[in-house]
Amino acid sequence: MKASAKATRKLAAFALPLDTAPMEAHSAGELPDADGPWQYEPKWDGFRCLAFKSGDAVELLSKAGKPLSRYFPEVIAFLRSLQIDQFVLDGELVIEADGRLLFDALQMRLHPAESRIRRLAAQTPAQLIVFDLLADARGTVLLNEPLRIRRKLLGSLIGKIGISESLKLSPATVARKQAERWLKAAGEDTDGVVAKQLDGPYVPGERIMIKVKRIRTADCVVGGFRYGSKKRFAANLLIDLPSLRSASSVASSSVVHLRQISSRFAATCRVLLRDRVDIR
């Protein structure tokens, strides 16, 4: 009973309930210009995450509300070590190696074995890229404040924390041309660009923002695939990209293994993909 009461007090101490849903985005074919002013940000290729802190109590929750804390102990330890007593941050968990963000490395963390998780945390530590502040260091809830105020307060908070490899502030701009450059460069570390109304509040669970993805296509030959859970969908593909072949070197360097593609497609698309590649 004592342990349960202590846990309840910790949960109640957060400035916002742990079931607070992040504000979401709907897709569009191009960056918005009307109905502004707009703030544009890179759309990171990671795990969307809300980070809650109150004293020593720290929680990471996914976009779907699932706990992520046990999978990223190094992030929890860093946030707990901060002198700032409380906040609620909105951001993206990413793992960087050799100057690139590795989505597969994030997925490898979702494992039941704590020993494996801690080993991966030491080998490829994650970082939290933050882009919104839902509650400040005094516990003041900022959901009704316009983005321009929340962003300013977020910048001040990150400034107090200082430069860190574990916590970074996402770039942002009000210049459409800069956003177009980000969109054009998207592909490796980012999926595209997210647009947010500067004068808008933070509305949990609602698709208020606008996301624009860079769509790229390639002709390829599927050489093999691996089933996902209970053979309901295709999870991995082995493909050949003829465009990568050179006149002097055929095939060897053009075979690419696409891992964990299931996470990038909607459920219906995964089934359709399975039906297309399974010719038995």
Q: Looking at the annotation, which residues are catalytic?
A: 43
Q: Considering only CA atoms, which of 98, 78, 90 is closest in space to residue 41?
A: 90
Q: Considering only CA atoms, which of 106, 98, 97 is closest in space to residue 45?
A: 106
- How far lies 144's CA from each of 135, 180, 211, 239, in Å? 11, 29, 22, 48
Which amino acid is it at 24?
E
- How far lies 43's CA from each of 34, 85, 185, 258, in Å? 20, 29, 12, 21
Helix, strand, coil distribution of the chain in percent, nearest 5: 30, 30, 40
